Structure 1
Amino acid sequence: MTGLVIRGSRNIFTVKSDEGGAEFECHLKGKILKGVEGFYNPLAPGDRVIFESDLAQDGTGLILSLEKRRNLLTRFNQKGQSPQLLAANVDQVLCVTTPVSPPFRPRFLDRALLQGEIANIPAVIICNKYDLSEDDLDVEERLEDFTRIGYKVLRISAKTGEGMDKFRRLVRNRISAMLGQSGVGKSSLINALVPGRNIRVGAINEKFDRGNHTTTMSFLEEIPGEGETTRIIDTPGIRRFIPHGIDSASLILYLREFAPLAGRCSYGHSCSHVSEPGCKIMEAVHAGVIHEDRYESFLRIRDEMSEPSHD
């Protein structure tokens, strides 16, 4: 049979069958599944697999093989020192943030957006809890800059319903993956779309003003609709997102406002974009074409990618 991976943990995966929609708890047949070598986890929600049911025990099965992926959303897992699969075969990445509670983290957005570019998956910024924004000028300035460089930004509130009609239209009939730090309200957004679903929502850690982990593994949620197939993959809250899939030398090509300037510096591709005369990147920062915070993100991410542990 063929089916869709809904969730997985410790090499046990829930697979929804294409034949009738029944769910099976499946193990991998054999220790290694072809095509997933080198990853922290072999499968992710959104993957399509071929499996067989276990006749000896109802509701269980064995995954035989993985169908070809359309795309793959990953991050570098420091604990396992290897890439971690977050979602597969998605139409868009929803980069979820908040103006406060927890605080606005534009550098996390820089990294999440970068991963979308690496995977060639369209990314949208979702600013949830916008009812708490208090018209913060710094937050607005960064959101407007993300819009300027070509990203769609939605200002919404799962609690009050502000902007939720736009959010529903955005996800309708698509497979979306949500990325965000703990506490930004990813589970609350799904609860708002599916009345009665009541996915557990975490409280904010008051001491550190950040969220507690409530989603410990990625899972796929189907959103009921009129003959439509709307699916959202909620990924675990991530405090530090390390992009994966490129090296430090090619980073510049995956930042939208940086890419047109690649190779145009006086020192060409060997320019470090830190102190050289004739550096087009630094000129663009001084001219406001590249935001100073985005430039700082670029330098930090590049330094991380140059560390031996990231190779």
Structure 2
Amino acid sequence: MRLGPVTASADRDAEYFPGVVLETVGGIYQVALDAGSTIQASLRGRLKQELRLGDRVVAGDRVDVARGDDGSLTIEAVHPRRTRLVRAGPGGRKPKVVAANVDRLAAVMAADHPAFRPETADRFLVLGEVCGLEPVLVVNKMDLPGAEALGPALEKRFHAAGYEILLVSVESGRGIPEFRDLLSTGITILAGPSGVGKSSLLNAIAPGLKLRTGEVSRREGRGKHTTVSARLLELPGGGWVVDTPGFSEVEFWSLEPMDMARAFPEFRGLEDECRFRSCTHLHEPDCAVKEALESGAIDASRYASYRQLSSSE
């Protein structure tokens, strides 16, 4: 197998083939090498020991691969990450890195079936903000009856806060060209509850992916998970997307109050006007955020979401 151009390793004892991790399954890492080929590699023993106490290697990680004398391919080094998409671990465990070096988070919701829940959308958008990604709200299934009635509420709650909103429908084709343009540069992660149509949206812009789509339970309005682990997919025409398992809610790890406040873009620029530099915008007097709330400059439902998220930390 020809692996292509190499780079010298730090210890000059070997040569590395740089690439990006596409997916990890059972200790085997699928890597797209910069030279153009896709290979499978294992993790070097020393690196396993180093990572045991830290983050695991995930989709989006930049790595260096070496070939042993026996022809085996191993990941020898993991590059520093630009960004990390992190989710809280189950049962109070430490936060878990889902994907690395992601540029934006597309929070995908459905207009209905499952029902649109603004508080859930807030959680995904806040997750993107906290992780340093560009959050965008994508509302799918706009062809369903009553979907257009969401428009004013979306404008008031999300667009006014500074978020880009894409209204799309796989069935009618509405907004699909704009969705394709959104994903045409950098790495985008699709996050959102199961059943909202993330895989269907990807199939609409890249039919060659042939991703499985899940049915939605009529009784509970929840979709069946069709993606087992995060994986990085290259899109025709440019761009990469991280396909993740569907999940119905986002739980946050321990965040400082100011970190949560910074995740609400409509608060930015107001904190300098608060009486206290460490103002949490919850109970302090002379708070510029609460004054903006009272004047109607900040949407009351968004502020309620901020209070709920802050109190859950």
Please classify the TM superposition score into its range, dividing by the shorter chain length. 0.7 to 0.9
- Matching of residue 6 in structure 1 with residue 6 in structure 2: no
Q: Which residue of 2 aligns with 1:49?
A: 63
> What letter is aligned with 1:256?
P
CA pair 137-294 structure 1, distance change in 2 beyond 3 A: same
Output one character per residue of 1:173-231: Cα deviation in whole Å (capped at 9) or x when no partner: 33211111111111111111122432111111222111121112111111122xxx321
CA contact (8 A) 1:76 1:84 kept: yes
1:193 counterpart (202, 205, 209): 205
Alignment partners' CA distance in 2, 1:175 and 1:239: 23
Provide the C-alpha distance between the structure 2 equivalents of 1:243 and 1:119, rounded to a whole number of angstroms.
11
Matches within 5 A, 1:83-162: 83-132=95-144, 134-135=146-147, 137-138=149-150, 140-162=152-174
Partners of 2:103 and 2:186 within 8 A in 1: yes
In 2: Cα distance, 1:289 partner to 1:109 partner:
20
Is 1:269 aligned with 2:278?
yes
SS state at 1:205 partner: coil
Which residue identity lines up with residue 246 of structure 2 in the other structure? G
CA distance in 1, matches of 2:234, 2:299: 38
| Residue 236 (1) aligns with residue 245 (2) | yes
Shift of 1:51: 1.8
- In structure 1, runs of 5+ residues without a counterpart are 306-311
Contact 1:253–1:262 (CA<8 Å) still a contact in 2? no
Equivalent residue number for residue 264 of structure 2: 255
Larger Rg: 2
Is the 8 Å Cα contact of residues 36 and 43 (structure 1) preserved in structure 2?
no
TM-score by length of 2: 0.84
Query: How much does 1:90 deviate?
Result: 2.1
Structure 2: gaps spanning 5 or more residues:
1-16
Q: Does 2:288 match 1:280?
A: yes
Counting aligned pairs with the same residue, the percent is 31
Question: Which stretch shows the higher mean deviation, 98-107 or 17-26?
Answer: 17-26
Matches of 2:285 and 2:90 in 1, distance apart?
36
Name the TM-score, length of structure 1 as normaliser: 0.85
Q: How many residues align?
A: 297
RMSD after superposition: 2.6
Match of 2:80 in 1: 68
CA–CA separation in structure 1 for the residues paired with 2:217 and 2:245 = 16
> After the TM superposition, which residues 22-41 of structure 1 pair with which residues of structure 2 at under 5 Å, given as runs?
22-30=38-46, 32=48, 34=50, 37-39=53-55
Cα displacement (A) at 1:152 = 0.7
Q: Distance in 1 between matches of 2:128 and 2:166?
A: 17
Aligned to 1:309: none
Change (3 A) 1:80 1:251: closer
SS across alignment from 2:278: helix
Q: Which amino acid aligns with 1:84?
A: K
| Alpha-carbon spacing, 1:48–1:268, altered in 2? closer, same or farther (3 Å) | closer
